[in-house]
C-alpha cells in the first residue's frame, strides 16, 4: 500500500465521520441525548490530541541541540514535582468529570 492510497483511505474515513452530524438530525431525541455527551468527549479529545501531536515536534525542534543538556540539568526533585503536579491535575479533572 503506497502513501497516496493511505491518504485516500484517511480522507474517506474522515469524510465518513463528518457524516455523523447529518445522521444526528434524523435520530430520535432520546437516542440523540444518550449519544451527545460521548460524542462531545470524542471531539474534545480529538482536538486536544491533534493539538499536542502538532505542538510537540515544534517544541523539540525549537529546543534543538539543547534538549539533552536540559534533560541532564533537571534534578530528580524537579521531575518528581512535575510528575506529582501533573498527576494531581489529572486526578482533579477525573473527579470533576465524575461529579458533574
CA 8 – CA 5 distance, rounded (Å): 5
48 and 55 Cβ atoms separated by less than 8 Å: no
95 has a pLDDT exceeding 60: yes
Confidence (pLDDT) at 12: 86
1: pLDDT strictly greater than 70 = no
pLDDT tens digits, 27-83: 898 988 888 888 888 888 888 888 877 787 777 777 776 666 766 777 888 888 888
Secondary structure of residue 53 in the 3-state scheme: helix
Task: Report pLDDT for 67.
Answer: 65
pLDDT at 30: 92
Amino acid at each position: 500500500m503506497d502513501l497516496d492510497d493511505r491518504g485516500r483511505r484517511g480522507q474517506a474515513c474522515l469524510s465518513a465521520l463528518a457524516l455523523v452530524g447529518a445522521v444526528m438530525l434524523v435520530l430520535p431525541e432520546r437516542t440523540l441525548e444518550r449519544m451527545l455527551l460521548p460524542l462531545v468527549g470524542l471531539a474534545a479529545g480529538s482536538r486536544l490530541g491533534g493539538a499536542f501531536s502538532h505542538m510537540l515536534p515544534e517544541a523539540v525542534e525549537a529546543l534543538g541541540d539543547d534538549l539533552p543538556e536540559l534533560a541532564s540539568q533537571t534534578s530528580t526533585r524537579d521531575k518528581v514535582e512535575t510528575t506529582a503536579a501533573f498527576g494531581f491535575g489529572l486526578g482533579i479533572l477525573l473527579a470533576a468529570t465524575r461529579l458533574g
